[in-house]
Structure 1
Amino acid sequence: MIPASFEYVRPSTVEEAAQILRNAAGDDVKLLAGGQSLLPLLRLRLAYPAALIDLGKIDELRGVRDEPDHVFIAAMTTHDEVVKSAVVQEQCPLVALATAQVADPAVRHRGTFGGSMAHADPAGDLPAVALALDMEFTILSAEGTRTLPASEFFVDYLETALGPGEILLGAKVPKLGAGWGFHYEKFHRTAQAWAIVGVAAAVKRENGTISEGRVALTNMGSTPVRAFSVERRLPGVPVANGNGELREAASTAANDTEPPTDLHARPDYRRHLAVVLTERAVRKAAA
């Protein structure tokens, strides 16, 4: 299909993009990042904005910066660039592990880190990772910039806390330091498909036991879900020969979730997957 007509603008700076957004107050304006989610919606006429602001020319929205206590990933950095970044691989490997499982190579070369976050599809891989790592999002507004934690960023299905006239600049990924292990476990039909269920796990090990764990779930609600019931049970679980304790902790993974029903799975099947994949992800992270 052919998209409905719209005005196309390609600014060179973030300030110029923000000014265009401010001038378009009241109009339906979409920001174009990699376009891997937006363009299909435009073609199907499920979205028909009055204007499209292409961020592809703004160099300051690209790249990975190694800061003292965090890694900053700019919004327009492509998935492929994130996966291949030595800084990301060393300082926040969970991001690299999950990003490498996003769709296929063609999509990863065009799709962007910030675009995936702003799209906020609960079946997407990266929102759950953001939640597990307690990322902080940097947002440009008419009043300047503000920082918002991942726990407040994802509001509902395909909805974030980004307001009209705001642009996502990127995310701060905390450096967790030594002793942490990571894994992203994903169950899907094909390599290109969205996750039926996914689990992002970060585990800290001390003296042969798990001292802290963070677990977030993909596609188990209208937003990514933090599995606090699992996290409360992980401290003290032996890294070796702790299968019983780990299985008991993982058995609560689906607590307080509202998994969707679609063509791929019913809620009860997703709850089963959440338990199985959580045990698997935590075990691999701890190893």
Structure 2
Amino acid sequence: MNMDFSRRVAIVTGAGGGLGRQYALALAARGAKVVVNDLGGTVDGSGFSPAAAQMVVDEIRSAGGDAIASGASVTDFDAMQTMVAEAVDKWGRVDILINNAGVLRDSSFAKMALEDFRLVMDVHLMGAVNCTKAVWDIMRHNSYGRIVMTTSSSGLYGNFGQSGYSAAKMALVGLMQTLSIEGSKYNIHVNSIAPTAFTRMTDGLMPDMEKLLTPESVVPAMLVLAHETAPTRTILCAGAGTFEAAHITMTDGMHIGADVDAPERLAGLLAQVMDRTGSTVPLAAIEQGRNEIEKASAAIRR
């Protein structure tokens, strides 16, 4: 199957360099019309320059593709609405949104300033919310949409010195979970990508890995999640040309009750409660409650 995007209009945030640039170039090379969004700031989110986004647009156009630049901040919802409106005015639709923009303000939690924590949350989480909200009604109206959130192994599994970044990246998975449910009847598929790549944001963190952990090696996962054949509610991990899937699972658990000695019995049986044998991937929040009620009801019948 040839992954063709020639009928699609895509928005890629944080596309002035690194992963975002490769995403924009790859989508354009396969026929998509692309909005290249990038504030043009530094890794910590300071500064502004429209040059970064325009340079990628120039690359796309010189290769025969079609693209426009946006230097708006994803933290500004009105600016995101304007960016989406410009894409619709030019091309008539928006089909794909790659929420890739981000900043780093790494520090141990003890030393982290709360304003840095808020900034990271605002760019990663609220930036994705702003962009997604700006395209949501268009995608619902067209009964088509592909949205990719950028999560991280730091969010999925934790990483020292990245409490704000980890919190934001895991929050994006929660956003994906619910939007995939709400978007299903409108053919809006929402997925997440957890990339490992050597970019400005990882410089110094992964020495001597540049040759393997290239942004280009993550691109196949993005294309799969953005294509019309994409799954939904999937977390793909990608790095160095290797791909994995991450799942949020629930163990089968056991009924213990809520008597006065329940805390002590739970503590004694915690290993069994945490046993991952027979664990499942719930399709909706209600499945946790259903499992709990079923086990409680079975205990009453005994």
Is the shorter-chain TM-score for this pair beyond 0.5, marking a shared fold?
A: no
Greater C-alpha radius of gyration: 2
* Structure richer in helix, relative to its length: 2
Q: Provide the TM-score with structure 2 as the length reference.
A: 0.28
